[in-house]
Structure 1
Amino acid sequence: MAIYHLSAKVISRAGGRSSVAAAAYRTAGRLYDDRQGLEHDYSRKSGVIHSEIMVPENAPDWMRDRSQLWNAVEIIEKRRDAQLAREIEVSLPRELDRGQRLELLRGFIEREFVDRGMIADVAVHESKARDGFSQPHAHVMLTMRELTGDGFGKKDRGWNAPDLLLGWREAWARDANIALEHAGRSERIDHRSIDAQRSEAEQQVERARASGQEKLVFEYEKKVIELSREPEPKIGPSANAQEKRGIVTERGSAFRAAQARNAQREELGRKQLELRLELMERGRAFIASARERLDQLWNRAEAALYRIKERVIGGGGRLHADPEHSDFDTRREVVSGRDFKRSEEQTFNAVRERTAPENANQARRDAVLGRERETISIEQESIDRSQEQRESILGRGKSSDRRDPERSR
C-alpha cells in the first residue's frame, strides 16, 4: 500500500554539520568544503538514481552548480549555530514508475518551494524496504535566504511558519493522490495523524452500519484495524547504519518490538472481525430458516381455519375448492372475516334449522302436560263434589237426632 511520509528538519552548524557535506552525501557526489578545507566524497554510495538543482527564474547561473551553491551558503552564514539549509524528506509512491514519481516530485517542488524563491537541491533514492520491496524517497535541500541580484539576501522567517509546513504536508498528499488516480491506481495516502484517520474510519463504520451497507462496514472496519497501531520509534541514521552491519542497537530493538506488537494487534483484530462476520452469517441463516418454518405454520393454520369455517357454515355454504389448492387471496379473505356477512347468515340459518326440531318436541311436551293437568283438575273436582255430598248426608242425620230425642231413646 502507498505510504505517506513528509518530514522537515533544519541542517544546523550547531551540531557540527556542513551543508556541503550534506549535499555530497545525499547526491552521492564529491564536493570540497572551502570553509573547512575538507573534501567530502560519497561517490561510492549506492541507491541514488537521480539528482538535480531547481532554481527560481531570477537566480544567477552559478547557483545551478552544487559546489558553488553550498559553499556560498557556508560563507554567508557567520554564526556558530547558524541554520544552513532546510531538508524535506518525502516518500514516493512505489505504485508509480520512476518517470511518474519524478514528474510528481518536480511539480510539487516547483509550486511549493521554487515559486516562493527557494533553491532546491533534489536527490532521489531507491533503497530496499523492510518488506523486501523498493522504498523510493527523495531528499530536498532548500536554501533559507532570499535572492537579491547575484547573491543571497536576508533570511525569510516566513518560511519557518508551522502553518506553512502543514500546507506542504497536505499539498503532497493531494498531489500524490492525483498522480495515483491518473495512473489508474486505487491506493491513496493521508497526511493526517493516525488518531485522526482512525477516528474518521470509526465514524464511517457507524454511518455505513446505520444505512445497512454491510460491505462498506466490513471495509471500514478493516481500515480501523490497520490504523489501530502504536507509533513506531525512529531508528536514526547512526543506529540504522549499525543495524545494517549486524550490530543490534537499543533503538533497533525498540523499533522491532513496536513492530511485533502492531503485527499481533492487527492479527487479533482481523480474527475478531472474521469471527463476528461468521456469527452474522450464521444468524442470517437461522433467521431465514425460522422464517421458512413460520411460513409453513401459517399455511397450515390457514388450512385448519378453512376447514373449521366449512364445518361451522355447514353444507349450504360449503366452499367447493380444496383448501390446499384454493386461491391464497380467497382463503385469506375467509380467515380475515371479509366474507363474514355471508358466513353469519349461513350460520344463523343452520342454527335455526338445527333448533327447529327441539322447539317442536317442546311444544308436544307442553301439550301433553296440559292435557294431564286438565284431567287432574277434572278428577279433583269430582272428588270435591263427592266429599260435599257425603258431608251433606251426614249433616242431615245429625239434625234428625236433635228433633226427636225421645225417639232416639
Structure 2
Amino acid sequence: MQVHQHARPHMETHTRSAGHSAVAGVAYRLGLKLYDERQKVWHDFRKRALGEEVVRALTLAPPDAPFWSTDPAQLWNRVEASEKRKDSQLARDYRIPIPFGLDDSDAGDLAEEMARFIVETLHTPVSLGLHRDADRDALGVLKPKDKQGFHAHIYFPTRPLADVAGEDEGKDGSQGFGAKLTFLSNKNTSAAFVEMLNCKWSELATDYARRVGSDLTYQYRSYKRLGLKLTPQPTLGRSATAMERRGLYTNRGDSLREAKKSASDGAKPFATIAFSKRRKAYLGTPSFVPRQGSLAYRLRASAPSPKNKEESDELDRSLVLIEALDKAFAVYHEIQQELDKLFKIIEAARAASLDAAFQADQSREHRKLAYVRLRRWEDENRWRVKIFASMGGAPLAKHEALRSNVKLHSDHVQSLKQTIATHAREVVDAENEVHALKVKQDEAFSAIRTSMANLDEAKSSLLPNLMRELSLSDTALLKEQLPVLFQGGDGIEKVSEGIAEQDQVGLGHRPFQRPS
C-alpha cells in the first residue's frame, strides 16, 4: 500500500458567540444571495460564480423530509430561528479535500456521496458546496496544473429534522427540528463520529482516485498514528494567506518558508524561532533571500553572480528595494480594486436614486389626480356625506375608495423619499471610503516612486531588467504616472530628476475626482 502526504478532512463548528451566521455560512459555500431574517441583512456571494469558484452547489435532505429542507433560504433561516441562546452552536462545516486528477464531475460526485452519507447517518439536511482551489499556494506561489484541485464544504445543522427523528414538528420554537445532537457538542464524545466520517472519506477518495488511474491510498489517520516520522508544516490561516498572496511578508509565512526550506534540506524545521531573531538572521547574512516567486526572486535568478563583496552588497540593496517596490504595487492594485467596487456602488446608488425620484414624480401626479377626483366627488355629494356622518354610519364605499387612493399615492411618495435619502447616505458613505482609500493609495504610490528613485540613484544594474519584468498593470501605472521612465534613450538615467520635477509641478500622481 502506497501512502503519500496529502490534506486531511477538518470539522469546524460555527457558533453565534463567535459572530457566525448560518445563513451567511451557507450563502458563502453555495455562492448565493440570501436574506438573514434574524439579522435583517443580505449576504451576497454571487460573485463566486457557479462553475468558476463554486463547481457544484446543492442542498440534500432525508426522504420524505419537509419541502423547505432543500431550500437553503428557508432551511438556514429556520436553523437560526430554532437556536435561542446567544452562544448557540448553529452548524458544522465538514471540509474535505478532493484527490488530484479528478474532473469537475467526478469531484462533485465524490462530495455529493459524502454529503448523502451524513444525511443518512444524522437524519439532517446538508448543504454542499464544491469549491475550486486557488491557483496559488498559501505563500502566493503559482501551483502546477496537476496540483490545482478541489475541496468541498459539507454544511449541516446541529439538530436532526423533527419528523424524521420521530418528534413533533409543531413543538413550540422547534422550527421543524428535533433535539440537539449533543454527542457532537463535546470533543470526547464526537471523536468516534468524526473518525467514522474521516474513514468514509478515505474510502471514497481512494476509490475515486483509482477510477482515474491512480494507485495512491488516502489515509485519514495522522502521520503519528501511521508511524511516519513527518513534521507537519505550520499553517498560516486566512488573514496571513491573503497577505502573502498580495506579496506582503507575515510572521507565519516566514515560519512556513523556513519549514519548507528545512524539509527540503533534510533538516528539522525551526519554525519556533522568534520572528525578530529570524529577521535579524536574514539581515546578518551576506545575501538577501527574496520571497519565492516574487519579482525580486525572478530578477535575482537572472542576474549574474556577484564577483566580490561590493557587488554582492549592491545586489542585495537592489533586491531589497525591488521587494519593497513589488509589495507597494500589490497594495496599490488591491486598493484600486476596492475603489472600483466603491465606484460601482456609487454609480448604482445614484442610478437607483434617479429611478426613485422619477417614480416619486409620477406618484405625485397620480396623487394630484386622485385628490382632484376626491374633491369633485365630495362637492357633488356634500349632503350625502354630511347625512351619513351625522347618523354615525360607515363612510360611503365610493368616498372611502377615493380617500384610500389619495393615501396610497401619498404613502408611496413618502416611501420613495425615504429610499432616495437612503441612497444618498450610501453615496456619502461610499465617497468617504473612497477618500480614505485614496490616501492609502497615494502612500503606496509614494513608496513606488521612492523605490524607483532609489534604484536609479544606486545605479542598479537590475533596473533595465526590472522594467521588462513588470506586469502589464504595473507598466501601465508607471506610463501614466511616471512617463519619464519611457522617454527612450536616456529615460532610465533620468528617473530621479524626472520624478523630482514631477513632484515640483504636482504631477507625481493624478488627483482624485469624485465620480460624476
Normalising by the residue count of structure 1, what TM-score does the alignment of the two structures yield?
Answer: 0.55
1:11 aligned to 14, 37, 41, which one?
A: 14
Of residues 148, 159, 181, the one that matches 1:145 is 159
Residue deviations 1:140-160, cap 9 Å, x none?
111111211351121122345
Q: How many Å apart are 1:266 and its aligned residue?
A: 7.9
**How many Å apart are 1:129 and its aligned residue?**
4.8
| Cross-structure match for 2:251 | 250
Tell me what 2:78 maps to. 72
Pair 64,21 (structure 1): closer, same or farther in 2 beyond 3 Å = same
Helix, strand or coil for the counterpart of 1:145? coil
Task: From 193, 201, 217, give the equivalent of 1:164.
Answer: 193
- Give the corresponding residue for 2:105: 99
1:91: how far off? Answer: 0.3
Aligned counterparts of 1:68 and 1:27: Cα–Cα separation in 2: 14
Which residue is 1:56 aligned to? 62
2:179 maps to what in 1?
Answer: 154
Task: State the alpha-carbon separation in 2 of the partners of residues 251 and 29 from structure 1.
Answer: 32
Q: 1:386 corresponds to which residue?
A: none
User: SS in structure 1 opposite 2:20?
Assistant: coil
> Aligned pair 1:22/2:25, yes or no?
yes
Consecutive unaligned residues in structure 1, runs of 5 or more: 200-226, 268-409
In the TM superposition, what whole-angstrom CA distance separates every residue of 1:350-378 from its partner, at most 9, and x where no partner exists? xxxxxxxxxxxxxxxxxxxxxxxxxxxxx
Q: Which residue of 2 aligns with 1:31?
A: 34
Shift of 1:252: 2.2
Residue in structure 2 matching 1:194, options 223, 227, 235: 223
Q: Distance in 1 between matches of 2:215 and 2:5?
A: 10
Deviation at 1:122, TM superposition (A): 0.4
Query: What is the distance in 1 between the residues matched to 2:251 and 2:120?
Result: 40
SS in 2 for 1:152: coil
Q: Which has the higher strand share?
A: 1
| Percent of matched pairs sharing the same residue | 29
How far is 1:72 from its partner?
Answer: 0.9
Contact 1:4 1:190 (C-alpha < 8 Å) held by counterparts: no
1:266–1:54 distance in 2 versus 1, CA, 3 Å:
farther
Aligned residue number for residue 44 of structure 1: 47
CA distance in 1: counterparts of 2:136 and 2:111, whole angstroms:
20
CA distance in 2, matches of 1:92, 1:2: 13
Distance change >3 Å, CA 113–CA 232, structure 1 → 2: farther
1:69 and 1:20 map into 2 onto residues whose CA distance is: 9
CA contact (8 A) 1:119 1:143 kept: yes
Output the CA distance in 1 between the equivalents of 2:159 and 2:92.
11
Cα distance, 1:84 vs structure 2: 0.2
Q: Secondary structure at the match of 2:161?
A: strand
Deviation at 1:2, TM superposition (A): 7.3
Task: Return closer, same or farther for 1:263/1:2 CA change in 2, 3 Å cut-off.
Answer: closer
Amino acid at match of 1:60: P
Checking the alignment, whether the CA contact within 8 Å between 2:112 and 2:128 is kept in structure 1 is no
| Alpha-carbon shift at residue 257 of structure 1 (Å) | 2.0
Cα deviation per residue 1:66-110 (whole Å; 9 max; x = unaligned)? 111111111111111100000000100112222222222222221
Name the SS of the counterpart of 1:142 in structure 2: strand
Query: For residue 181 of structure 1, what is the aligned residue in structure 2?
Result: 210
Contact persistence 2:118–2:126 (CA under 8 A): no
Counterpart in 2 of 1:234?
235
Amino acid at match of 1:56: P
Alpha-carbon distance in structure 1 between the residues aligned to 2:264 and 2:127: 37
Contact 1:2 1:187 in 2 (8 A): no
Q: Distance in 1 between matches of 2:9 and 2:245?
A: 24
Secondary structure of 1:17's match? coil
Residues 2, 93 of structure 1: 8 Å contact kept: no
Q: d(CA) in 1 for partners of 2:240 and 2:72?
A: 29
**Residue type at the aligned position of 1:37:** K
Q: Partners in 1 of 2:217 and 2:256 — Cα distance? A: 25
Aligned ranges for residues 285-304 of structure 1 at < 5 Å? none
2-side partners of 1:8 and 1:169: how far apart?
10
Give the whole-Å Cα distance in 2 for the aligned partners of 1:37 and 1:171: 39
Q: Which amino acid aligns with 1:91?
A: P
* Mapping 1:306-317, distance limit 5 Å: none
| Structure 1 segment 211-290 matched on structure 2, within 5 A | 228-265=229-266
Larger Rg: 1
Q: Which residue of 1 aligns with 2:508?
A: none
Q: Is contact 1:53–1:120 with CA below 8 Å preserved after alignment?
A: yes
CA distance in 1, matches of 2:235, 2:224: 18
Cα deviation, residue 262, structure 1: 1.8
CA contact (8 A) 1:54 1:114 kept: no
Following TM superposition, by how much is the alpha carbon of 1:115 offset from its aligned partner in structure 2, in angstroms?
3.8
Question: Aligned to 2:90, which of 84, 92, 96?
Answer: 84
Instruction: Quote the offset at 1:231 in angstroms.
Output: 1.2
State the 1:189 CA deviation.
1.3
Residue 148 of structure 2 is matched in structure 1 by 134
Runs of at least 5 residues in structure 2 that lack an aligned partner in the other structure: 138-142, 164-168, 170-175, 269-516
Structure 1 segments, 4+ long, off by >3 Å, are: 112-115
Residue 41 of structure 1 deviates from its aligned partner by 1.2
CA RMSD across the alignment: 2.3
CA contact (8 A) 2:55 2:108 kept: no
The verdict on how the C-alpha distance between 1:266 and 1:96 changes in structure 2, with shifts beyond 3 A counting, is farther
